[in-house]
Amino acid sequence: MMGATFVPFSDMQSFAAELERRGMLRRIRAEVDPILEITEIYDRVVKAGGPALLFENVRGSSIPVLINAFGTRERMCLALGVSDFDELAQRVKLMIKPEAPTTLLDKLKKLPQLMQLASLPPKVVRRGICQEIVRRDDADLTALPALQCWPHDGDLSRNVYAHIRALVSAAGGSAPSDPLTTELLRRTLLARNEGSEHARELFSSEAPLNPAALLPPGRSGRYLTLTNVITRHPRTGDRNVGMYRVQVLGPRLAAMHWHMHHDGARHFRAYRELGRRMPVAISFGGPAVMPYAATCPLPPGIDECLFAGFLHGGAIELVPCVSQPEIEVPATAEIVVEGYIDPAEPPVIEGPFGDHTGFYSLADLYPRLHVTAITQRRAPLYPTTVVGPPPQEDYWLGKATERIFLPLLQVLIPDVIDYDLPMFGCFHNCAFVKIRKEYPHQARRVMSAIWGAGQMAFTKMIVVVDEHVDVHDPNAVLFQMLANCDPRRDVVIADGPLDILDHAAPVCGAGGKIGWDATRKLPSEGLVREWPEELKMSEEMRAQVTRRWSEFGLG
């Protein structure tokens, strides 16, 4: 159960007000440019562990920009209503492994928890402050203070796949390409074994291509980033809320970037099979837990709004969209962009985009989002973020997931005592794992299990250490890896799926993985010599020196 001090933040403005009250938010009244300048200011502040920033005077827009709201452990915990991530992990553990009550008193003690569970599903209401102002025919994405984060965002002269370079080159005329050009473009894509699922589908068709029709209007590098992209599966009705980047291409046109393993892309494929337009909504803000819920690696079919209710301590109120009523959005959102994607329509070139890997993700083909309405509060904030070389704000969103989902990982792999996703690994590149070693090759079993566990399957490198090692100390883990590993005996190399953004992978989304067994070796694990003990001072001497410390004048 939640601590008695928890007060849920029903909207982003109340969260920002609390940050300001605690001295965790700084207002910037000087005019700033959303093109690069906000990123440079933010990047310096977030890397210094500085405050949330509220830019009140953003060039080209009347809407203030809120950024870095989740940029420290303390602020992330405040948004989630806990003093520490482990507190929330314990709540998750109780939810997935509840102890059966054995007495009447135990049953009575369980009643508050059961009542809380019953109150978690989202509640649909008729009205919400997110619809105080409604724009349909005059909806204009370019009126939002969307950021261009990095210098080459949207620049199609660099950081593009070979097939995109060929498309741009072939787009000199507006007429469809001749069969030879189409075939050359198709071969360019297939020969490089890369490209989005939308590019592959387009190039697998026998229909002639019109390269000019795939070019984005203009060369905007401005993006919606801290998004709650809300979709529903057309058959099951399952809702998904994902944080996907959206490139602004015009007043009523955008490009939706999602990867093939995302639930939003899975919903898109279902609409395409049915030959139906896909309704989409993008909300900004709402309850302070919503941005985190949108990033959680929940299994398909688990509603992020339900999980947000669990985090929030009560039902999230949703309101139907005004132009896409099949989709419901948080009633307390700051701004909502409503629209649709037509799977029968050709995709559009999206990107490049400076990503959380510290590199540009390359331009490729993604679906067009057509805007049908924009609704907002009377005086909204525009919550946003920047991704790039770590640490960034998304590091703390990921760190919360690492801690909160430890109990779920332990249900799948009971051997795991603890784990850490180090900052330099950008979430998907590296995992340090602690086990209590009990039998030969247990570390290899754990590696294989992790490579089969949901989104942990994308982990490129795993280091498994013994239970006495602090997995949150990279130097301690690397010391064990270098001291305890023989590269020929203790390294596992496998093939499997990788993150789409891994530019080093030989194939887009697939490649090699490596596991290091940095545990103490047992005699039956191959050629193993006598294993020495690690150096450790006796507890008696440690206690003695601690008692006498003041005598030594060392401070």
Which pLDDT score, from 0 to 100, does residue 114 have? Answer: 44
Q: Output the CA angle 550-552-553, nearest 5 degrees.
A: 75
CATH of the domain at 146: 2.30.110.10
Q: What is the pTM of this model?
A: 0.89
Q: Are residues 345 and 276 in the same domain?
A: yes
> Which two tokens mark 135?
């724009």
Q: Are residues 284 and 305 in the same domain?
A: yes
More confident residue, 118 or 508: 508
Q: Are residues 489 and 512 in the same domain?
A: yes
Flag whether 312 is in a domain: yes
Element (H, E) at 47: helix 37-47
Residue-range definition of the domain harbouring residue 452: 413-517
Whether 554 shows a pLDDT value over 60: the answer reads yes
- The total of structural domains in the chain comes to 4
Q: Are residues 143 and 108 in the same domain?
A: no
The CA R_g of the chain, rounded to the nearest whole Å, is: 26
> Which two tokens mark 539?
């507890």
The band of 109, judged by pLDDT with boundaries at 50, 70 and 90, is very low
| Active-site residue set | 355
User: To the nearest whole number, what is the mean pLDDT of the chain?
Assistant: 90
Which pLDDT score, from 0 to 100, does residue 105 have? Answer: 52
Q: Are residues 147 and 64 in the same domain?
A: no
Flag whether 446 is in a domain: yes
As a whole number of angstroms, the distance between CA 313 and CA 120 comes to 7
Per the listing, tokens 């969260």 go with 15
Whether 103 shows a pLDDT value over 60: the answer reads no
Q: Residue 552 has what DSSP assignment?
A: G
Residues composing the chain: 555
Flag whether 39 is in a domain: yes
Contact between 444 and 492 (Cβ < 8 Å): yes
Flag whether 263 is in a domain: yes
Average pLDDT over residues 515-540: 93
Q: Are residues 223 and 209 in the same domain?
A: no
> Which two tokens mark 542?
């440690």
Q: Are residues 130 and 113 in the same domain?
A: no
Flag whether 19 is in a domain: yes
For 283-339, how does the pLDDT look when each residue is reduced to its tens digit (9 = 90+)? 999 999 999 999 988 877 788 999 899 888 889 999 999 999 999 999 999 999 999
The band of 111, judged by pLDDT with boundaries at 50, 70 and 90, is very low
**Residues above pLDDT 90, as percent of the chain:** 70
Which pLDDT score, from 0 to 100, does residue 293 have? Answer: 92
Flag whether 391 is in a domain: no
Whether 126 shows a pLDDT value over 50: the answer reads yes
As a whole number of angstroms, the distance between CA 202 and CA 549 comes to 72
Flag whether 139 is in a domain: yes
Q: Can you tell me whether residue 419 is helix, strand or coil? A: strand
Whether 217 shows a pLDDT value over 70: the answer reads yes
Q: Are residues 58 and 106 in the same domain?
A: yes
CATH of the domain at 462: 3.40.1670.10
For 32-53, how does the pLDDT look when each residue is reduced to its tens digit (9 = 90+)? 999 999 999 999 999 999 999 9
Determine what percent of the chain falls in helix, strand and coil, rounding each to the nearest 5: 35, 20, 45
Q: Are residues 344 and 228 in the same domain?
A: yes
Flag whether 268 is in a domain: yes
Q: Are residues 22 and 101 in the same domain?
A: yes
Q: Are residues 54 and 183 in the same domain?
A: no
Average pLDDT over residues 98-126: 60
Q: Are residues 132 and 194 in the same domain?
A: no
Per mean pLDDT, which range of 124-128, 369-373, 524-528 is the poorest?
Answer: 524-528
